């Protein structure tokens, strides 16, 4: 009897200690992050941010990532942030340019951003501009970091374009500045969400789609495409990670420091991971029999003249009409790139 009693007591003690440890490890603060689709290169900085913050706070500050649009549709993430439905979210400016007009300067075509490291530096400078801060504050949002992506290029089905003029009349999945640039040369931009793009190409709803390499892999467009433009480089989309301003302000100094100090580490992880994606890209094209289409410099110059500066001028004029410092923001981009 005594032995059984002691064994039961010991088991109870062990259970109580384990329960106490679990309670001790429970997060004091949990931030929910609204994301769409699944984990991929585009979200690796958020994965790392969550990991680093948990490490620095002994699990007391949890950043919980919700994929698949579980918390909100991708085009409604900024709305969700505005009402405090969740504390953090990722969105792309071109999904709703009217909600965030100032940051669409980063989506203008042919800006000449050479690499992801430069894109991060450029994003930081633009995000810190007072007009951008005020713009996002309308949604009770503040930008924490960007989701830098390389220049988009097209995967398509059907006859491969041999010159820029071959895009005339072509239905393309192209958002933001890329879409406007393609429209300038006679293509027909179609707004299709990332998750719908595979089916759109397969069914012929669109003939080509512009993505960065990681997205072509993630959304499997490489499996239905027949050709890939290696150097058109019309631009890219800008996709910030934002926090609800009230939630950020409510963080303890310790938790705020843990969050802020983890951003650079998250960027480093993102860049290292993305380099692995680029290493896989060439072999993936070969494996799926995708033809590489490379345009001559003469064709590219013609495209820049037709779709570059005209779109810059229209954007600046539109911003000025809205009372926003369009010229100032554009000049800031050019100055930053020149430096």
Per-residue confidence (pLDDT) for residue 15, from 0 to 100: 45
**Cβ(206)–Cβ(171) below 8 Å:** yes
Per-residue confidence (pLDDT) for residue 4, from 0 to 100: 42
Architecture, CATH, for domain 153-236+281-338: 3-Layer(aba) Sandwich (3.40)
Q: How confident is the model at residue 233 (pLDDT cuts 50, 70, 90)?
A: confident
- At 295 the three-state DSSP class reads coil
**pLDDT single digits (tens) 243-283:** 999 999 999 999 999 999 999 999 999 999 999 988 999 99
Share of the chain above pLDDT 70, in %: 93
Q: How confident is the model at residue 11 (pLDDT cuts 50, 70, 90)?
A: very low
The 3-class secondary structure across 106-117, one letter per residue, is HHCCCCCCCCHH
CA dihedral 173, 177, 181, 183 (to 10 degrees): 50
**pLDDT single digits (tens) 141-183:** 999 999 998 888 999 999 999 888 899 999 999 987 788 889 9
Distance CA 219, CA 230 (A): 19
Of 46-60, 201-215, 294-308, minimum mean pLDDT range: 294-308
13-148+238-277 and 153-236+281-338: identical CATH topology: yes
Ordered by start, the domain boundaries in the chain are 13-148+238-277, 153-236+281-338
Per-residue confidence (pLDDT) for residue 277, from 0 to 100: 86
Question: Superfamily assignment of 13-148+238-277 in CATH?
Answer: Bacterial extracellular solute-binding protein, family 7 (3.40.190.170)
Of 17-26, 155-164, 320-329, minimum mean pLDDT range: 17-26
Q: Is the pLDDT of residue 61 over 50?
A: yes
Question: Which of 29, 35, 51 is CA-nearest to residue 268?
Answer: 51
Q: How confident is the model at residue 328 (pLDDT cuts 50, 70, 90)?
A: very high
Distance CA 4, CA 11 (A): 10
């Amino acid at each position: 009897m005594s032995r059984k009693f002691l064994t039961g007591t010991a088991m109870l003690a062990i259970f109580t200690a384990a329960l106490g440890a679990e309670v001790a490890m429970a997060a004091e603060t949990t931030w929910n992050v609204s994301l769409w689709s699944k984990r991929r290169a585009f979200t690796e900085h958020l994965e790392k941010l969550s990991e680093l913050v948990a490490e620095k706070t002994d699990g007391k500050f949890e950043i919980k990532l919700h994929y698949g649009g579980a918390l909100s549709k991708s085009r409604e993430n900024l709305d969700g942030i505005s009402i405090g439905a969740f504390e953090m979210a990722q969105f792309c400016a071109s999904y709703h340019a009217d909600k965030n007009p100032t940051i669409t300067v980063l989506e203008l075509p042919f800006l000449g951003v050479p690499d992801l490291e430069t894109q991060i530096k450029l994003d930081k400078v633009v995000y810190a501009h007072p007009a951008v801060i005020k713009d996002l504050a309308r949604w009770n949002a503040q930008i924490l970091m960007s989701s830098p992506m390389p220049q988009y290029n097209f995967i398509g089905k059907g006859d491969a374009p041999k010159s820029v003029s071959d895009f005339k009349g072509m239905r393309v999945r192209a958002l933001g500045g890329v879409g406007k640039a393609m429209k300038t040369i006679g293509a027909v931009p179609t707004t299709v969400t990332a998750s719908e793009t595979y089916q759109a190409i397969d069914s012929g709803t669109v003939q080509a789609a512009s993505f960065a390499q990681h997205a072509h892999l993630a959304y499997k467009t490489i499996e239905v495409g027949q050709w890939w433009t290696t150097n058109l480089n019309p631009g890219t989309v800008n996709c910030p990670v934002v926090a609800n301003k009230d939630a950020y302000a409510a963080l303890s100094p310790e938790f705020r420091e843990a969050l802020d100090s983890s951003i650079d580490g998250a960027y480093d992880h993102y860049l290292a991971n993305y380099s692995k994606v680029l290493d896989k890209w060439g072999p993936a094209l070969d494996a799926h029999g995708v033809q590489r289409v490379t345009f001559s410099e003469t064709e590219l110059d013609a495209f820049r003249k037709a779709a570059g500066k005209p779109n810059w001028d229209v954007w600046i004029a539109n911003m000025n009409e809205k009372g926003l410092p369009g010229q100032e923001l554009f000049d800031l981009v050019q100055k930053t790139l020149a430096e």
